[in-house]
Structure 1
Amino acid sequence: MPVYIRKGQLEVPLPSLDDHEEEEDARFELDPERAFARPPQPWRLVGQVLELVLERTWASIEGREQSRQEERTRYKPPVWNRPRRVEMREEVHCLANSADGRYIFVGLDGGLTALAAVDEHAVLSTWEQRGTMITQINTAPAGEEMSAIATIDDMGLGRLFVFYSETFHLVKTINEVEDISKRTVCSSFILSSGGDYGGIMLQGNGESWFEIQKMPKETWLKDLEQAQSQQQQDVEQFSNIDVKLSSPILILRLKSPKRPSGRERRHGQESSQLPEEWSTLGTGQNHLLSSAQLEMHRLLFEQRHRDAVERELSRATVHFVLPSLILPAGLEYKTASGLPNGVCMWWSGSHLLLHYTIQKTGKETEPKADAVWPNAELICCSTISECTMLLALGLRDGTITIWDRYLGLPLTVTSLPEPVRIAELHFVAPKNQHDSPTQDYAASPSASLLAFCKDGSVHMVEVNSEGTCDIATICQRCEEQGDVITAVLPLPMFPQLMIYFTRGGRITLHDRLEGKALALVALPMPHVVASPWHPIYTFGTNGQSIFIKATASQAGIVALAFSTSRGTRDARNCSWKAYSRLQRTMEKWKNVGAPYTLSLKRHRHEDPTG
């Protein structure tokens, strides 16, 4: 068979552009909506009109947002730089106020001091003990003109005081023992809103537990009135006498949850059919894992995360609650009006919310939980309303759960715009309520929640009675470290206002309804906010003033207080202006070296920088 071979060298022909189409993409439909046949008239006209309306609407929204942003950057809030200075003789470590707002309790290096919340903030009473540094104070009303005070010092000793007739009376040192090697550490000491119960968090020997004690308020009042009647003629002698008061009574001891132990069961139905373990449902105790499997998982986890594992004891967060329908001893349980009948608590590193009944009929001091509410993530923070019927939980992934304790049902479950960790939660009054910072459950089951996150952002969660939830961002996260918000304080008497601290030491009065700052609080030089990442503060005169710990490079440690306006509560139309007469008076005081103050009032339609 002959083979024909072309003479010469073989060459690859050059590509010809004439053989290809100029726009090859024309053969394909790039828009999926055009894959179908074009609709006839008038539907095409309707589509064009809708597209035009949508574009104009979106352009209007962008324009308004840009104008708001420009207005925020252009608006400079007035500066209030004349707070009142209260000098202390020792370093201030903590602050607390009485329930009636008349007294301010200050924890010092050498004991405890009571100040008057109004006028010149004079020292009324002092409890001194050398070498005792009070680091935590909690107060609660214990009767007419009597307050219960729970303190913790730097050595972990908890003390219970009664403040009566402007005098401190030591009731008991909670965890004091003769053998120091057997001493336990008190990490938390709280009181119920009425002072009827106290909660003590103790740690020792690698364990942690929480004790609930009953406060004998009636006995205290009777003993103090009897001692006062015996010393009616000499007031100073009454302040110096040592009145022996009754100690609180232990009611419950709640231990931290243990790790799930191994089970030797063949199937899950056998675990769920054990009637004696009904109280462990939801706690993770009923499972099919053996002891060997759990031990192997624990060893693998510790070996893989050896550098990240933290050996810390669990701490409990507890809320005293009023009767509701979720506990076995609910509304039908006979209890005094306003007296708590249970507690809601969760332990650090746990996703379980536990409910316990305080009114126990037997001698059981270590009971099991009456109700368990498991969550999908670890609990980071919690708060409860003043009526104790609304409970909010902040989870690690940024989810917020608001429970209606009256019915035992969740009011809403929502997530923040970004998955950030929640640091604090505060219940505030709704938008249409301005007279009280709390709300009556029967009249308004809606909720307004202020959420402060670890990244410095602040969000407002509004929930109505139908369960509809709206989330608004009040303060965005700041990129600059000095402008990052470190603490948020809703004002009790002005629920639409809040005060926040920044890492740079700036104090700002903010209106959450208008979304803008009303005033900047500037401390007199050379004072600055002490530890702005964890400020020390308390309210006085029922929320109309605030005391803040400040430091000075030359004058040591001082406490500062500034008063808010006592006029109208409509903060949206307020501005700040100082009277020239008070300015001249202030200059006169400065010349003689006395403490100075400047009163500020609200006026409408005035220059905010005046």
Structure 2
Amino acid sequence: MYNRKGSAESEMSASSAKKFIKKPATLHLISVTQVPENTNCLACSDDGAYLSLGHSRGLSVWSASSLDCEAEWLQDRIEITSIHMTRISETGYLLGTIDEMGVARVFVYNLESLYCFSVINMVDDVSKRSVCLYFELCKGGEHGAIIMRFNSEITLEIYYFPAQDWLRELKDPKISSNMKWSAIVRVNRVNPSTAITTTLPNILSNFLVLDDTSEPPRHCTPHFLKRCGQSCGKIKAKPGSPVSVCFWWTGSHNLLYLLLSKTAKAKQDPEPTPLILWPNASEILCSAVSTCTRFIAVGLSNGLLCVWDRLSSSPLPVSGVSTDSAFVRLHFVDYWPACDDNSQLLTAGDVHLVTLCESGAIHVVSTGRGVATDTEQLSPRPKDSSDLPTVITSVPFLQGLSLVVCRNGNMFLQDVVNKATVCVLYLPAHHVLATPCNPIYALNVKQRILFICADQEPLPGTSFLDDEESQTRLLILRFEEHDTMKPYVFSHPESPWQQKPGVTGEEACNLYFQQRALSMDERHKAITQTWKRLRCATTM
């Protein structure tokens, strides 16, 4: 994601990869086992050891290697529709789920047993219950971000989960179904009105755009952020764990920011205001955070793409994407050449983003500090609606690649850096994607595997006699087993600014001015080329 010139190994990998992008290769997924009836969602633990499945009878945890069922939580008339899973100890995992009625639950899987520790929004009177729209656990499981809706009101709630206390309580030999576990703590509750009273630096107050609150927002989009330089003050957190959360409301111009805590706020201040605000000139349509969480990107309604560098506390060049429709989704593409030392952290480097528009067109934006922004169309607007992408996401263990899944079931991997299709993914014979408009899939980053659900169709000349024979199967693709993929496979390095002492404000300024001096020739060349294009345009 940083300077490509800084890593000879990455250059060799990119050079080797070019041999495979002239003609897309073909990779075949393998059908391995049947999944529970009406499986709605899959999630892999962040250490790659387990696969969790939400279905019409509850929740199951499988071994990601053997695909054996290790534990189940089965309940009649409870259909799990969303699931997230993270490791909290050597043998413990935290799971956050949502069911079809919008009820959020927290589970712990430990030593082949699955326990329900908390039902977050369950009340006796259904008419008074908030509906959970979104539930994400941070890495390590200490905090969760939950979007709740009650009537027309949308709120963002941040919870602290006493996971380590729960693990100690599980060692009690007198465990029973009526045991009282340590309580979860709601540490923040924020609604859209807080944007009006948000505290922000004076320099940003000149650009603050007050959101029109006449129409209630339909949703909120949060992102957990790990430590980056000195931006989090004296907040203590485990290495790799988040220390803050940024978020924005539908229809808003402003990106908000909150520090995470483990204790509830005073009762007289139930809705604390965000600490930092990043205002934008136009409405935010979508957002993304890089894997290392150093960079935050927002796509705006005026076709501009803005990227904020948290380490230097400054934006990268604003990019304009020429498109005939609005942004729908964007994501960073993992590209991780190595940094030799701390002095290279703020030097010029490429940041690659992929944007999906309402029309189905896909664009690639490459930008960086002190370099000219490059915007190209990766694929045009589909002529047939069946070719519209339903999934487009970065593959964290494949250098520079994005996975694309279309409505018609077509799947392929695209090399974003070299603007080419690397390979096409095929299902086994007589299989179709279970839900092409919303594919049920998960990526195992540690084992470098794609899991995806597909329906098995009857063989020619035969028909299914009963529902039991009409199976939904789990398909897998192990990328490391294919020579085509080997040049792209890589492991994430540790982010140096998260492992070393934070960069102070003075150091950040010095490095920034050093970078500006080093990039002067390149910036001058870009300006000269721009003036040449303008002269040509005026003489035509």
Instruction: Please indicate the TM-score interval, normalised by the length of the shorter structure.
Output: 0.7 to 0.9
Task: Give the structure 2 partner of residue 51 of structure 1.
Answer: none
Contact residue 60 and residue 69 of structure 2 kept, 8 A: yes
2:17 pairs with 1:112? no
Gap change, CA 1:340 and 1:152, over 3 Å in 2: same
**1:183-215, CA deviations, whole angstroms, 9 ceiling, x for partnerless residues?**
111111111122111111111143221111111
Task: Give the structure 1 partner of residue 260 of structure 2.
Answer: 358
Contact residue 398 and residue 419 of structure 1 kept, 8 A: no
**Counterpart-to-counterpart distance in 2, 1:192 and 1:522:** 33
Secondary structure of the corresponding residue to residue 401 of structure 1: strand
2:47 pairs with 1:100? yes
**1:244-296, CA deviations, whole angstroms, 9 ceiling, x for partnerless residues?**
432211111101237989xxxxxxxxxxxx99x9998765559xxxxxxx99x
Select 2:157's aligned residue among 208, 211, 223. 211
Task: Give the structure 2 partner of residue 254 of structure 1.
Answer: 190
Secondary structure of the corresponding residue to residue 388 of structure 1: coil
2:314 pairs with 1:399? no
Task: Give the structure 2 partner of residue 376 of structure 1.
Answer: 281
2:480 pairs with 1:533? no
Select 1:164's aligned residue among 110, 117, 126. 110
Task: Give the structure 2 partner of residue 18 of structure 1.
Answer: none
Following superposition of structure 1 onto structure 2, how do residues 480-559 of structure 1 map, counting pairs within 5 Å?
480-540=384-444, 542=446, 544-554=448-458, 555-559=470-474
- What's the offset of the Cα at 1:458? 2.4
Select 1:457's aligned residue among 336, 340, 361. 361
Secondary structure of the corresponding residue to residue 257 of structure 1: helix
Select 1:426's aligned residue among 326, 331, 348. 331
Structure 1: runs of 5 or more not aligned: 1-73, 232-237, 262-273, 287-293, 299-310, 435-439, 575-610
Select 2:35's aligned residue among 88, 112, 118. 88
Gap change, CA 1:443 and 1:111, over 3 Å in 2: farther
Select 2:245's aligned residue among 302, 319, 343. 343
2:122 pairs with 1:122? no
**Counterpart-to-counterpart distance in 1, 2:196 and 2:258:** 20
Task: Give the structure 1 partner of residue 166 of structure 2.
Answer: 220
Secondary structure of the corresponding residue to residue 176 of structure 1: coil
Higher relative contact order (CA 8 A, sep 6+): 2
- What's the offset of the Cα at 1:142? 1.8
**Counterpart-to-counterpart distance in 1, 2:167 and 2:117:** 12
Task: Give the structure 2 partner of residue 22 of structure 1.
Answer: none
**1:133-180, CA deviations, whole angstroms, 9 ceiling, x for partnerless residues?**
111111222222322111001101000111112321111001001122
TM-score (norm 1): 0.66
Q: What RMSD over aligned residues (CA atoms) do the two structures have, in Å?
A: 3.5
**Counterpart-to-counterpart distance in 1, 2:56 and 2:265:** 43
Task: Give the structure 1 partner of residue 479 of structure 2.
Answer: 564
Secondary structure of the corresponding residue to residue 187 of structure 1: strand
- What's the offset of the Cα at 1:508? 1.6
- What's the offset of the Cα at 1:243? 6.0
- What's the offset of the Cα at 1:419? 4.6
2:234 pairs with 1:333? yes
- What's the offset of the Cα at 1:388? 2.0
Gap change, CA 1:490 and 1:543, over 3 Å in 2: farther
Secondary structure of the corresponding residue to residue 221 of structure 1: helix
Select 1:472's aligned residue among 355, 358, 376. 376
Following superposition of structure 1 onto structure 2, how do residues 436-451 of structure 1 map, counting pairs within 5 Å?
441=345, 446-451=350-355
Contact residue 544 and residue 563 of structure 1 kept, 8 A: yes
Following superposition of structure 1 onto structure 2, how do residues 168-183 of structure 1 map, counting pairs within 5 Å?
168-183=114-129
**Counterpart-to-counterpart distance in 2, 1:110 and 1:278:** 54
State which structure, 1 or 2, has the greater radius of gyration over its C-alpha atoms.
1
Secondary structure of the corresponding residue to residue 318 of structure 2: strand
Aligned letter for 1:256? P
Aligned letter for 2:93? S
Contact residue 396 and residue 445 of structure 2 kept, 8 A: no
Contact residue 334 and residue 394 of structure 2 kept, 8 A: no
How many equivalent residue pairs? 448
Secondary structure of the corresponding residue to residue 242 of structure 2: coil
Contact residue 94 and residue 135 of structure 1 kept, 8 A: yes
**Counterpart-to-counterpart distance in 1, 2:79 and 2:316:** 43
**Counterpart-to-counterpart distance in 2, 1:206 and 1:382:** 23
**1:467-520, CA deviations, whole angstroms, 9 ceiling, x for partnerless residues?**
532223322222133333221132221123332112211112333344333332
**Counterpart-to-counterpart distance in 2, 1:323 and 1:562:** 34
Secondary structure of the corresponding residue to residue 82 of structure 2: strand
Gap change, CA 1:221 and 1:81, over 3 Å in 2: same
